[in-house]
Chain A
């Protein structure tokens, strides 16, 4: 099992979500996050008052998938989240030791 963590542009959430469900990903965790990478923050000015945006709003999607589905899921996210512009985000893949479905006690891939 692998956990895929993707940081994407907020407006790409719907696209990524539907692309993932099209490749049979059952569930995901979505969080509103802020941060920066190469796309640094910036300064906005209104009538002389400065509003500094140090952290850029992003969406974090977390999905845990069986090993054999990993490539497909990563590709799907990368394709759906891409605009070609700066700040498109990143995808991280982490190993997962165990998964338990709390209601039934199922374990491993069956719990996903």
Chain B
């Protein structure tokens, strides 16, 4: 009875006390939040938060003892903080990891203790994890599991039997054998590298992870772990004492960490939960909440991100240096700095552990151009730069002004990085991270850490540009021989890969001012090209590449690559195959640098199609030579003059753009003007006919203009044959506005003159009737009486039909070799039509009595004839048709 009574009373007291504890907890949280809003520094916040949690947990622990029936049970076990809580780095919604360490033989009652502590915490919405282990078990587990080992490394006593903890801790610091030590250090380093790769591989990513990302808090943890394993230190303050980092460096480091902690705290409050990713859409409200100001919120966001990146860069650099210093492969010197024999690598510089350092720290002060010497070594050997040298470069940036930029030595050195083989990306990275690049190319200052508001890029513009250069470099590297064979091949073929790399570095400079960046970028690139004193033609190429860098992907993905005119127009922009290859490579590097998975097979297929089709046109050079293009412009102007007054100017222009280049090559301005006038008459007439005697050539010339339709050519040639006209030559073309213009040279087979009004009218009527479908060509032809004794019937040359798909990406070319006879062209073209193909162009020529007819055909769906069966069928049927007498 008595015992029950006591326990009931105890319970009642405890429950009141639980409410008290909760009230205390809530008050503490509110107070912390208020302090944070007032600007409490990150590190202070985190340790205060940990202290608050400590006292909450101690009170809960106390209460648990009161709840237990039998008192004085808290001997032989101890409640410890692990992980971030152990390090006293609690952000508002950090997980709280607890470790109940107990001596063997404790069992069921521990559960009750634990429950009394954990349940209230869970009820209040905290994320609490816990483990229960004996010292022996925990050591054994830690030796097997690195994660567990590392979180135990951060362990700190919170409540319970402190003796148990102290004895455990002493033993724990001894559990690793020297061999295991080294392995742990190696593992920490390996994991850090893997983690960086997983989070974008760069400090500069568009949505950084405050904790896990490169330069994030985890980098510091890793370095600190390594330092503790290596130097047996316990607190961060000891880092300077053991010589891993100088006092001045530690100040910068600590400031950077404080910044990250504060950002993380704000992130947690902003989301109301644990969230460590600085998501794109949250960056603006985060910047404002952290007190950043600017003319507009965009500028505030940018200055926040610049700070963010500069701090993460520090965290990354210091952490990585410490990790390397602790690396088991190094032997510690008395000072803690790594020893090892330095290797001289040019006057004033030496290599130490693969990193570039310098003998005389004042050499940049005496001769600022020595900076180039350092960069040249990085370029030639691909080495990293030692921290002190890096600092020196940063300190020397003031001298990089107008005079430095324009000096011959600067221009020569900078360009040599692009032109000479070496480690271009490496040297650009050093220049970028030290801020040198922004001083030397002030245009880069505009895009420094500029985020791209399109949800598509994961790196800021400047980093993206460097990565694009790296993509090109890796195409030249032997190691990756297997991947991207086409791009590797093109990289070998182009004459000036250095210029392409420069263009790639500069390709996004126009992004400093928002939209239409490519055009502005072209101008900026030209200006830089002039400053670097490049020859005019190189500047033109540079400007072209930057200006058009989006065009390639745009056309490949948004235009109909099956339309010859589209490819043709693109070819006109690109002008030659060298520039095409460079643009294609730039497009590849640009998209890959957005994220390697961004260049999908899907995109690859479309881009290659555009590349090859354009290349074929450029290599054939049809109508693309500058002279040919001048000629086109000249003819267009003449036609405009000729027709002014007869046809409204906008209509003439519409015709002029729809006429293909190859048509301009075949006709003069008079003829084209005449054809346009004829086409204008198509409104009232279904077909317009014009003709001219050519006595000097012994034939007549006919021009037929009609709306294009399937079988049109066959119909016209049928009508001509039925009117006793033998077709000696024909030039047919189809304009983009679907008007067919056919010109025939015909031989009159009867005595009556072609241009006799009676005969001319009959020809016109026949054409009209056939076109309107009132009379079939066959019935017209059947009615004709062939003149006997015609000389052409005497010879018999072998008939041959060739089908060639390699000539054009858009048409299948059919060549027919046979002996001439009246009606031949009609029979061929009618057969082609019956088989379901349309003729887009034709060149008909007759030499004595040998005919070579070339037809550019497509099937009615607008494609080439790819199937072998179809190709043999067309050959077979044409030959059969021609062998029929």
Chain A window 11-51, contacts with chain B (Cβ cutoff 8 Å), 1 for yes, 0 for no: 10110000000000000000011100001101010110101
| B residues in contact with A32, CB < 8 Å | 600, 602-603
| A residues in contact with B602, CB < 8 Å | 32-34, 57
Residues B837-885 near A (CB distance < 8 A): 859, 861-863, 866
Contact-residue bracket for chain B: 20 to 34
Q: A34-B601, A86-B862 are in contact. Are A10 and B606 (CB under 8 A)?
A: yes
Contact A11 B559 (CB under 8 A): yes
Contact A85 B558 (CB under 8 A): no
Chain A window 73-112, contacts with chain B (Cβ cutoff 8 Å), 1 for yes, 0 for no: 0000000000111110000000000000000000000000
Smallest Cβ-Cβ distance to B609: which chain A residue: A44
B495 at the A/B interface (Cβ < 8 Å)? no
Residues B569-609 near A (CB distance < 8 A): 600-603, 605-606, 608-609
| B residues in contact with A85, CB < 8 Å | 562, 861-863
Main secondary structure of the interface of A (DSSP, over half): mixed
| A residues in contact with B39, CB < 8 Å | none
A65 to B474 CA separation, bound complex (whole angstroms)? 48
Contact A53 B605 (CB under 8 A): yes
Contact B863 A34 (CB under 8 A): no
Contact B560 A11 (CB under 8 A): yes
B481 to chain A, nearest CB (A): 14
Smallest Cβ-Cβ distance to B566: which chain A residue: A11
Contact A11 B863 (CB under 8 A): no
B658 at the A/B interface (Cβ < 8 Å)? no
Smallest Cβ-Cβ distance to B601: which chain A residue: A34
For chain A, the count of residues having a C-beta within 8 Å of the partner chain is 25
A57 to B607 CA separation, bound complex (whole angstroms)? 11
A70 at the A/B interface (Cβ < 8 Å)? no
Q: A32-B600, A49-B486 are in contact. Are A86 and B861 (CB under 8 A)?
A: yes
Contact partner of B863 (CB less than 8 A), chosen from A9, A14, A86, is A86
Smallest Cβ-Cβ distance to A53: which chain B residue: B605
A14 to B861 CA separation, bound complex (whole angstroms)? 22
A1 at the A/B interface (Cβ < 8 Å)? no
Contact B485 A49 (CB under 8 A): yes
Contact B605 A86 (CB under 8 A): no
Q: A14-B558, A34-B601, A57-B605 are in contact. Are A47 and B489 (CB under 8 A)?
A: yes
| B residues in contact with A42, CB < 8 Å | 866
A56 to B609 CA separation, bound complex (whole angstroms)? 11
A11 to B608 CA separation, bound complex (whole angstroms)? 15
Main secondary structure of the interface of B (DSSP, over half): helix
Contact B606 A44 (CB under 8 A): no
Contact A11 B605 (CB under 8 A): no
Chain B window 454-486, contacts with chain A (Cβ cutoff 8 Å), 1 for yes, 0 for no: 000000000000000000000000000000011
A53 to B601 CA separation, bound complex (whole angstroms)? 10
Contact A34 B605 (CB under 8 A): yes
| B residues in contact with A55, CB < 8 Å | 605
| B residues in contact with A44, CB < 8 Å | 608-609, 612
A86 to B562 CA separation, bound complex (whole angstroms)? 10
A47 to B605 CA separation, bound complex (whole angstroms)? 17
B388 at the A/B interface (Cβ < 8 Å)? no
B180 at the A/B interface (Cβ < 8 Å)? no
A82 to B560 CA separation, bound complex (whole angstroms)? 12
| B residues in contact with A49, CB < 8 Å | 485-486, 489
Contact partner of B862 (CB less than 8 A), chosen from A10, A13, A83, is A83
Query: Quick one: which of B601, B605, B862, B863 has the most chain A CB within 10 A?
Result: B605
A8 to chain B, nearest CB (A): 12
B761 at the A/B interface (Cβ < 8 Å)? no
| B residues in contact with A40, CB < 8 Å | 866
B557 at the A/B interface (Cβ < 8 Å)? yes
Query: Quick one: which of A32, A46, A47, A57 has the most chain B CB within 10 A?
Result: A57
| A residues in contact with B615, CB < 8 Å | 46
A47 to B606 CA separation, bound complex (whole angstroms)? 19
Contact residues of A with B, CB < 8 Å? 9-11, 13-14, 32-34, 39-40, 42, 44, 46-47, 49, 51, 53, 55-57, 83-87
Identify the 8 closest CB pairs spanning chains A and B, nearest first.
A85-B862, A86-B861, A32-B602, A57-B602, A85-B861, A86-B863, A57-B605, A11-B558
Excluding A11-B561, A49-B489, 8 further A-B contacts by CB distance (< 8 Å) are: A13-B558, A34-B602, A53-B609, A56-B605, A83-B560, A83-B862, A86-B861, A86-B863
A-B contact pairs, 28 of them (CB 8 A): A9-B560, A10-B558, A11-B557, A11-B558, A11-B560, A11-B561, A13-B558, A14-B558, A32-B600, A33-B602, A34-B601, A34-B602, A40-B866, A42-B866, A44-B609, A44-B612, A46-B486, A46-B612, A47-B489, A51-B486, A53-B605, A57-B602, A57-B603, A57-B605, A83-B560, A86-B862, A86-B863, A87-B562
